[in-house]
Amino acid sequence: MSREESKPPELTIQRIFDDPPLSGAIPQQIRYAPDGRRIAYLKAANDQHERLDLWSYNLDERAERALVDASQLSRGSVELSDEEKARRERTRTSATGIVEYEWLPESNGIVFPLDGRAHLVELSTGELSALTPAEAFVTHLKVSPHGTWLAYLSESDLHVVEIATGRVQQLTQDGDDAVSNGLADFIAAEEMLRFDGYWWSPDERYLAFTRVDESPVATSQRYEINAGEITLHAQRYPFAGEANARVDLHVVELSSGHVRNIEWRLEADDYLARVWWIGNAELALVRQRRNQTRMELVFADLDGHSREVLAECSDTWVNLHDDFAIIDSLDAFVWGSERGGTNQLYLYRRDGKLEKPLTAIDGNVTKLLSVDEKKRLVYFQGWREDPVEQHLFAVSLDEGGGLTQLTSASGCHDIAMSPDCSTFVDQHSSVTQPPRVLLGRADGTHQFDIDANELNQEHPYGPFVRAHATPQFGHLHAEDGQRLAFRITRPPENSTSPHPAVVVVYGGPGAQRVRNQWPPLFQQYLARQGYVVLELDNRGSSNRGRGFEAPIHLRLGEVEVRDQILGAEHLADLPYVDATRIGIFGGSYGGYMAIMCLAKASEHFRCAVAVAPVTDWRLYDTHYTERYLGLPEENREGYRASSVFPYLAGLSAPLLLMHGMADDNVLFTHSTRLMQALQDQGSLFELMTYPGAKHGLAGRSVSVHRYRVIADFFSRHLSPKPV
């Protein structure tokens, strides 16, 4: 074999975003059928990985089946409604085709929206039928608990259709440009991760829903610059320190149409963070103070009576979570709390009295999954000892019952428990294994692979496996002694000359980059181009506990930058890194970090790429910003010092600024103000904007172009030698 023939194929940016997907057609939104005998999921089409189709898997027969090919059912190019556009942007949904679905309670069919219309596919026959009128654009579907009704949103109002007859009932009437019913408001979806705005009662007699009135939010004019036109949007954006939308909670009875108001506030600017039904006539609510130092779990009945069950308090902020489950047989509930430093689970009596802690792991509970009342076991995801891993655990409700780790393969496991908790579907990946899907028993025993996604020569990534650069993990110690996990990807071992390096950063709260999971392929591309790639989770990042997050309180861009400097110093000490050629790249909070690192520490970073960066926190939204910086009038110096502008005099190294010109989250204004400030001080910089693109800069063509521009920028300023 010639030397040329033995050389692995080139991994290009174009190929990373081409079909078929290099990481495999990874199942998404895996859900058990209510009877537990099948699962359903969405999967990218081999010929168009941006399109999702609907699939099912029969667990008894171990057989996969394509249920709906979205391209065959689609009506073509259908314009999304404004509420659906907003909802997809909040959930970061960039795919086309089928993007959500719901099982029927009898497990005999699945309901899904496509092109604004709800459809039903019957599993036994594969027959398709439309459930909603063709003239109405519907979104956010939910099947009622007994399968009688399908609820949906259309033109800011809540509707139901009787599945058997097609009879439509409009439940709210006052939706307009400022008022929406059943739709999560901007703050709830973007920052509280509450994507729902309505909830079925277990007996399907009632629907609880939010009525969102945005009129208190000042209207600001936002330009969306597209390729062929410029449109002016009157956006009600809740800037830090300003008014939020008013969110009311109502319950409508389907049979009568009677609407009841649920009073949930203590103070006018409280947040409604979570809503659950806990029976047919009672709701559990999570209420949060505007300053986010206190939140309460509240039980409210339909007669207007409510009681505070427990409260969580902090000197900094209280993180929201979804770790709540009623245990009817014990007249109790499970609740998650960080009161001990990391998130742990606790058992409470229904009256709010603490029974006992359930978990005491040397780690963190990341997600409460399910409760098996018969076996008296609670299942959850989390980590112990090593935060780069995520595993499935079970803990007994009985005294002295103990805790068991049920997954053993190194890496990160995302779990879906069966309705009876007898089995689980595990989506597992590591730095050497792209996401695979397997079925396990509740005792942790592996039953079989549903999708092994094996990296053989038939796999899309097969031709590139031989040159795959396996990331290595390590840790550094911050100035306060806390461990900072990092992941480093280096070029092939046979390359001995010092390499340039790229620090890929996010750095903000609510996120964790360094995990033992399948890495982004752009990092592989950079390594093959001759770069060493470093990812480091600085203090303020999530999933490490209160003590790790708290140092950023009231002042952003300080400890995070110092920790990233520590990472750059570590790179500089490595014999295979050229300390004079270290760049940094990040998006959103990572874009903010890239600018702050370059401006504050140009002696460590030779150049930076900032994508959709926050530049002034007064221009960002209430809930996120005030959680960390407080109210602007109470922390003026903190806001000033946390923006990029006081440090721009130190920004003398090359900067590439990128932004979508229709971004409704980190507004384009963040970048235009930065542009003017840099121009006023005579600083040169490079700029790439994307007409019509939102915050996620989604789409194949935009993604390919964006990463090509980034690669070209680093090539010109760090001069790598491809390996």
Q: What's the CATH number where 41 sits?
A: 2.130.10.10
Based on the residue annotation, tell me whether 176 is a catalytic residue of this protein: no
Q: How does pLDDT run across 38-73, given as a tens digit for each residue?
A: 999 999 987 888 899 999 999 999 999 999 999 999
Instruction: Report pLDDT for 230.
Output: 76
439 and 573 part of one domain: no
Residue 4 forms part of a structural domain: no
b/e code 180-219 from CB counts within 10 Å (16+ = b): bbbbbbbbbbbbbbbebbbbbbeebebbbbbbbbbeebee
In DSSP notation, 452-505 reads ----STTSTTGGGGGG----EEEEEE-TTS-EEEEEEE---TT--S-EEEEEE-
Residues 428 and 538 in one domain: no
Q: Is residue 245 part of a domain?
A: no
pLDDT (0 to 100) of residue 1: 44
In one letter, which amino acid is 596? M
Position 66 scores a pLDDT of 95
Kindly state whether residues 397 and 537 are assigned to the same domain: no
Give the mean pLDDT of 682-697: 94
| Per-residue model confidence (pLDDT) at position 361 | 86
pLDDT of residue 224: 76
Residue 205 lies in a domain: no
Give the up-direction half-sphere exposure of residue 611: CA atoms within 13 A in the CB hemisphere: 22
Give per-residue pLDDT as tens, 221-238: 777 777 777 777 778 999
Q: What is the enclosing helix (H) or strand (E) of 384?
A: strand 377-384
The pLDDT confidence band at residue 721, using thresholds 50, 70 and 90, is low
Least confident of 73-87, 280-294, 386-400, 696-710: 73-87
Both tokens of 73, joined, read 């059912």
337 catalytic, yes or no? no
Q: 3-class SS at 39?
A: strand
Same-domain status, 403 and 537: no
Q: Dig out the tokens for 116 from the structure.
A: 């604004």
Mean pLDDT, the chain, integer: 94
Q: Measure the CA–CA gap between 2 and 343, rounded to whole angstroms.
A: 57
663 catalytic? Reply is yes
Instruction: Answer whether residue 194 is part of any domain.
Output: no
**Residues 399 and 510 reside in one and the same domain:** no
Q: Structurally, how many domains does the chain consist of?
A: 3
Answer yes or no: is 180 within a domain. Answer: no
Are residues 90 and 129 located together in one domain of the fold? yes
Instruction: Provide CB contacts within 8 A for 702, sequence distance 6+.
Output: 690, 693
Q: Give the full edge-to-edge strand order of the sheet including 102-103.
A: 102-103, 109-114, 117-122, 128-130
Token duo for residue 170: 């409009």
The share of the chain scoring above pLDDT 70, in percent, equals 98
| Residue 193 confidence (pLDDT) above 70 | yes
Q: For residues 503-531, give the mean pLDDT.
A: 96
720, two tokens: 């790598």
Same domain for 546 and 607?
yes
Q: By three-state DSSP, how is residue 265 classified?
A: coil
> Which range among 7-16, 158-167, 196-205 shows the weakest confidence by mean pLDDT?
7-16
Could you tell me the pLDDT band of residue 85, with boundaries at 50, 70 and 90? confident
Instruction: Render pLDDT for 624-677 as a digit per residue (tens, 0 to 9).
Output: 999 999 999 999 999 999 999 999 999 999 999 999 999 999 999 999 999 999
Higher-confidence position of 328 and 361: 328
- 552 and 406 fall within a common domain: no
CA distance 117 to 121: 13
Domain check: are 563 and 613 in the same one? yes
CATH number of the domain where residue 503 is located: 3.40.50.1820
Split at pLDDT 50, 70, 90, the class of 493 is confident
Of 391, 428, 604, 695, the catalytic one is 695
CB neighbourhood size of 428 (10 A): 25
Residue 20: is the preceding peptide bond cis (ω within 30°)? Answer: yes
Instruction: Please say which residue of 143, 171, 199 terminates a domain.
Output: 171
Residue 242 has pLDDT above 70, yes or no: yes
% of the chain at pLDDT higher than 90:
87
Given 663, 664, 703, 717, which residue is catalytic?
A: 663
Mean pLDDT in residue range 30-35: 98
Flag the least confident range among 45-49, 114-118, 145-149: 45-49
Answer whether residue 4 shows pLDDT above 60.
no
* β-bridge mates for residue 109, sequence order: 122
Domain containing 349 — which CATH number? 2.120.10.30
Q: Which residues pair with 308 in a beta bridge?
A: 298
Claim to verify: residue 439 and residue 506 sit in the same structural domain: no
**pLDDT value at 494 more than 70:** no
Q: CA-CA distances (angstroms) from residue 199 to 102, 158, 206, 368?
A: 14, 11, 8, 20
Closest C-alpha among 476, 547, 542, 486 to residue 512:
542
What is the spatial order of strands in the sheet that 168-170 belongs to? Answer: 139-143, 149-154, 157-162, 168-170
What is the distance between the alpha carbons of residues 252 and 208, in angstroms, rounded to a whole number? 6
Out of 148, 171, 194, pick the residue that ends a domain. 171
Look at residue 402 and tell me if it is in a domain: yes
| Tokens linked to 722 | 């491809």
Catalogue the long-range contacts made by 475-478 (C-beta closer than 8 Å, 24 or more residues apart).
Answer: 476/536, 476/566, 476/567, 476/570, 478/538, 478/539, 478/559, 478/562, 478/563, 478/566
Stretch 357-369: mean pLDDT, rounded?
Answer: 94
CB 151 within 8 A of CB 200: yes
386 and 475 both lie in a single domain: no
Report yes or no on 201 lying in a domain: no
pLDDT the model gives residue 86: 82
Global confidence as pTM: 0.95
Q: Are residues 699 and 561 in the same domain?
A: yes
Contact between 722 and 530 under an 8 Å Cβ cutoff? The reply is yes
Distance (Å, rounded) from C-alpha 152 to C-alpha 136?
11
Of 224, 356, 350, which Cα lies nearest the Cα of 297? 350
Please, which pLDDT band fits residue 360 given cuts at 50, 70 and 90?
A: confident
* Contact partners, residue 53, CB within 8 Å, separation at least 6: 42, 43, 44, 45, 66, 67, 68, 69, 70, 71, 97, 98
DSSP-based three-state secondary structure for 16: helix
Length of the chain: 723
Residues spanned by the domain of 366 = 339-452
pLDDT band at 496 (very low <50, low <70, confident <90, very high): low
Of the residues 118, 145, 171, which one is the last residue of a structural domain? 171
What does the alpha-carbon distance between residue 373 and residue 325 come to, in Å, rounded to a whole number? Answer: 11
Point out the catalytic residue in the list 418, 588, 642, 671.
588
Is residue 275 assigned to a domain?
no
